[in-house]
């Protein structure tokens, strides 16, 4: 795995068109230049970041920061969300995705917003957010801060099909918490109101 790439420019493609719903996890861009992209190699990797949200519900969209080397062709990034657990064990069943994002080659990292019209259920607050590319020299963007909404336990799992898997718990590959920059939007689950005798009588009136 390449240990570090420093991006000396920032491509902020306007403010994201926020999805309906509420922010239940947010690790926005706050890192000052240069911005590192530590999780990549000359072949595709799958990078998983733990996310512990503030609510369950239906996924309506997400924001994610991505980087595709300027010498690459336009390449697809793929996003999945898997079941996690409070202790950050291995990713469990798939909950959402795959979602494909065409990423142009560029020196700078880029912000993407994706709506999820399939509205998959996220029945647990403990998740893994996974990113891969169809090419090497591309990957998700690191942020050396704790999440501002929800919680991250600063664990990134990297699946490398050629050289084996690696776990970064912060301070291992780059100095600072092992977190990616992304945001999750959810339409929270609203419990159904318990039936009352008055409502039951109204049904049969």
Residue 200 pLDDT: 45
pLDDT along the chain (205 residues), means of 10: 41 46 91 67 96 97 95 96 96 97 91 95 98 96 89 94 89 76 89 51 47
What is the reported pTM?
A: 0.84
Q: Work out the angle at residue 79's Cα, subtended by the Cα atoms of residues 159 and 95, and round it to the nearest 5 degrees.
A: 95
Residue 10 pLDDT: 42
Closest to 101 in 3D by CA, of 79, 116, 81: 79
What domains sit in the chain, N to C, each tagged with a CATH number? 6-203 (2.60.120)
Residue 4 pLDDT: 38
Please, what sign has the CA dihedral across residues 172, 175, 180, 186?
A: positive
Contact between 130 and 67 under an 8 Å Cβ cutoff? The reply is no
3-state secondary structure of 108: coil
């Amino acid at each position: 795995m390449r240990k570090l790439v420093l991006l000396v420019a920032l491509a902020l493609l306007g403010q994201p068109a926020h999805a309906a719903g509420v922010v239940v996890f947010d690790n926005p861009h706050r890192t000052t230049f240069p911005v590192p992209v530590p999780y990549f190699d000359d072949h595709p990797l799958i990078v998983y970041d733990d996310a512990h949200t503030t609510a369950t519900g239906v996924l309506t969209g997400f924001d994610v920061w991505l980087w595709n080397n300027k010498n690459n062709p336009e390449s697809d990034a793929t996003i999945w969300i898997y079941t996690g657990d409070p202790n950050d064990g291995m990713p469990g069943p798939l909950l959402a995705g795959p979602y494909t994002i065409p990423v142009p080659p560029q020196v700078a990292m880029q912000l993407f917003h994706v709506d999820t019209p399939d509205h998959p259920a996220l029945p647990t607050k403990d998740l893994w957010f996974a990113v891969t590319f169809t090419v090497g020299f591309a990957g998700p963007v690191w942020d050396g801060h704790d999440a501002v909404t929800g919680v991250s336990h600063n664990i990134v799992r990297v699946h490398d099909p050629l050289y084996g898997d690696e776990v970064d718990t912060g301070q291992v590959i780059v100095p600072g918490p092992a977190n990616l920059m992304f945001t999750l939007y959810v339409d929270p689950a609203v419990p159904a109101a318990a039936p009352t005798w008055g409502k039951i009588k109204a049904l049969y009136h």
